[in-house]
Amino acid sequence: MNKISVIGLGYIGLPTALIFAANGVQVVGTDINVELVNLLKSGRPPFKEKGLDELFNKAIKNGIEFTTEYKRADMYIIAAPTPYIKRNKKLDPEFVLKAIKSVFNVIQNEEILIIESTISPGTIDEFVRPLVKGLKLEKGINVNLVHAPERILPGNMLYELENNSRTIGADSVEIAQIVKSVYSKFCKSEIIITDIKTAEMTKVIENTYRDINIAFANELAKICYQNNLNVYEIIRIANKHPRVNILQPGPGVGGHCISVDPWFLVGNYPDIVNVILAARKVNNEMPEFILSRISAIMKDHNIKDIKRVGLYGLTYKENVDDTRESPTLQILEKLSENLAFGIKTFDPFINHIMVEGQELDFQKFLSEIDILVVLVAHNHIKENIDKIKGKIIFDTRNVINIDGVYKL
Ligand code: SAJ
């Protein structure tokens, strides 16, 4: 396994390519996006992540190659996007299938083809195997399929790449062992070998489990609000129980994973799922709950102009610059057009205008509002408590410890 080709240099593919290269593997990183490849060639990673710059420099020093072309390798890792089709709650495997077809233009024989992209259970059987079978016949070669899903946490990706256990799903234990030995070049944790469908299922249910637990915390927040109880104190005390681990309520669930993966199970098993679907509904209704709380606070303080309300945070969670499916964007979508235009927003991680009413300067943002709604717990807001004193604050993330702050 001298050379690895990583295809798809996004949130998963890029850190994976870099960490293999930083650990002495010859890596070629391929992406169809010319601007992205040029950015990488100029030595600039496309997103912020703790430790990414150092890893990037190490990979460059070790000769990592970035290109839009597909290059021959001993192992191909596909980390192409797997978008979720809202209409039928299914996964769109097109990007992955296109990448596989392109790999077959350079593949020779017996290489290992690893899919790291999150795919719904059964995707390999339903879409990948038929495609690969045809391509193998056409070229008269064999290729070894593997599914190795990742579980790294945005905001702590590089630490988790090295320290999280991995699942290797393969058709043969021998191939799985080879892949396991390659991943152990950087993975210091347990690498579990299983079959492909089990690997597909475990990845999706891990995120589904988390979504259900967040939904429980959110529903608990609504119950506590009605009873004028402190949901955080109740969770804190309940979690003292040795077998209770309730997560934190928030303004909703964003990101391209937790808010997406459970839908694959809803789409694939509509006659079975109940809890999974109910949790999705609870989390998707949190933006409405936040809006009802904002209007109650405005009434409390006799503030009629939505322009005096500022939403802090556009990303889907703290200390990342990813806004996909963020609760704030969900809230803005639910506001009527003129209200959405009126409300102010600010996010220290977003340095370009992406919504109407967004301020790029924190002081200016604060000068224009009376009510500050904290929707994302960036370190930035915790470091600027002195600047927000005097505002009416609605802290949906329980990170502002000032008297009189509204909480969930
Ligand atoms: N959230 C809460 N309350 C909590 C925890 C999270 O409201 O107690 C919200 C966050 O604010 C965010 C959303 O949920 O909007 C998701 O955030 P997250 O940190 O739970 O998850 P992701 O999407 O950043 O990363 C998840 C992780 N999966 C699990 O923790 C089971 C990560 O390990 C996966 O690799 C990633 O999905 C993925 O790529 O699948």
Query: What values do phi and psi take at 235, rounded to 5?
Result: -65, -40
Q: What is the pLDDT of residue 219?
A: 98
Q: Could you state, in order of their start, the residue ranges of all structural domains in the chain?
A: 3-194, 208-407
Q: How far is the CA of 88 from the centre of ligand 1 (A)?
A: 23
Where b means 16+ CB within 10 Å and e means fewer, 283-310 reads bbbbbebbbebbeebbeeeebeebbbbb
* DSSP code per residue over 88-103: TTEE--HHHHHHHHHH
What mean pLDDT value characterizes the chain?
A: 95
- Is the pLDDT score of 178 beyond 90? yes
Question: Catalytic: 71?
Answer: no
Q: Do domains 3-194 and 208-407 have the same CATH topology?
A: yes
CA 180 – CA 228 distance, rounded (Å): 52
Query: What values do phi and psi take at 80, rounded to 5?
Result: -80, 160
Question: Catalytic: 188?
Answer: no
Query: What values do phi and psi take at 69, rounded to 5?
Result: -90, 160
Nearest CA to ligand 1 atom 25: 153
* Confidence label for 122 from pLDDT (cuts 50, 70 and 90): very high
Q: Which two tokens stand for residue 326?
A: 């963020």
- Is the pLDDT score of 351 beyond 80? yes
The highest-level CATH class for domain 3-194 is alpha beta
344 lines ligand 1 (CB under 6 A): no
Q: What is the pLDDT of residue 117?
A: 96
156 lines ligand 1 (CB under 6 A): no
Where are the alpha helices (H) located in 227-336, listed in sequence order?
231-238, 261-268, 275-300, 327-334
- Is the pLDDT score of 100 beyond 90? yes
CATH level 3 topology of 208-407:
Rossmann fold (3.40.50)
Query: What values do phi and psi take at 78, rounded to 5?
Result: -100, 120
Q: How far is the CA of 258 from the centre of ligand 1 (A)?
A: 6
Per-residue pLDDT tens digits for 284-317: 999 999 999 999 999 999 999 999 999 999 999 9
Q: What is the pLDDT of residue 67?
A: 98
> What is the SS3 assignment for 282?
helix
8 A C-beta contact, residue 107 and residue 145: no
* DSSP code per residue over 110-122: S-EEEE-S---TT
Which contiguous run of DSSP H or E holds residue 384?
none
Cβ atoms within 10 Å, residue 131: 15
